[in-house]
Structure 1
Amino acid sequence: MSDSRATFREARLRHNITLHQLIKDTNIDPRAVILLDQQNQGTPEHIDRLLASLSRLSGTEYSRRTKNIRALTFKLHPDYESITPDETAAQLAAELHPTNDK
């Protein structure tokens, strides 16, 4: 049986919401936003704040209560250091200058 729920990234892209918008809306460290977007993990607080932001920006409710996002991993101490400053800059720049590889 396949899971029809989206990952955080899939939902974000479905609604054309950028990482920049999430960072600005939540004022969360960009590494935390990217870690959730790429690896589906974060602190419970960051995940809840980013789901609330996704809901505000998309007009669709996303939350732990609605259970419409899959593959979230809650960690008390996520490895934010795994997202390097260069990777952060590259991810954010890629949104400003997308390629036509799709």
Structure 2
Amino acid sequence: MMNQIHMTFREARLRHNITLNLLIKDTNIDPRAVILLDQQNQGTPEHVDRLLASLSRLSGIEYSRRIKNIHAITFKLHPDYESVTPDQLAAELKRAGDE
């Protein structure tokens, strides 16, 4: 369990072979919000909590703010979803299907 204490969301996701597409389907969150947390470690408190709950469900290991086993998340009330371009979104989702 010690080696799981200081992972980013992306590191934990990859460790469990969970694709972005699976997270998007499981949470029904705007794909840009999922990519923003995965790539830039930022999101709204609600999106972060929902994605951590999804990661927990899909991996079988609890990830949450309460137990603080995911680090480097920046909470933003208004994340810059526009920073995820349509081309980047399409490329990430295509790559996520290949993971």
Assess same fold via TM > 0.5.
yes
**Runs of 5+ consecutive residues of structure 1 not aligned to the other structure:** none
The one-character-per-residue Cα deviations of 1:15-66 (angstroms, maximum 9, x if unpaired) are 0000000000000000000000000000000000000000000000000001
Provide the C-alpha distance between the structure 2 equivalents of 1:42 and 1:62, rounded to a whole number of angstroms.
Answer: 16
**Rg larger in structure:** 1
- Which consecutive aligned stretches of 4+ in structure 1 deviate over 3 angstroms post-superposition? none
The residue type paired with residue 91 of structure 1 is E
Number of residue pairs the alignment of both structures matches: 96
Alignment match, 2:45 = 44
Structure 2 partner of 1:68: 69
Greater percentage in helix: 2
User: Secondary structure of the residue that 2:64 maps to in structure 1?
Assistant: coil
Change (3 A) 1:18 1:97: closer
Partner of 1:95: 96
RMSD of aligned residue pairs (Cα, Å)? 1.3
Instruction: Structure 2: state its 5+ residue gaps.
Output: none
Query: What percentage of aligned pairs have identical amino acids?
Result: 79
Amino acid in structure 1 at the alignment position of 2:53: A
Provide the TM-score with structure 2 as the length reference: 0.93
- 3-state SS of the aligned residue for 1:51? helix
Residue pair 2:21, 2:97 contacting (<8 A) in 1 also: no
The residue that corresponds to 1:78 in the other structure is 79
Question: Relative CO higher for 1 or 2, CA cutoff 8 Å, sep ≥ 6?
Answer: 2
| TM-score with structure 1 setting the length | 0.90
- Deviation (angstroms), 1:97: 3.5
1:72-96 deviation per Cα after TM superposition (whole angstroms, max 9, x unaligned) = 0000000000001110000011122
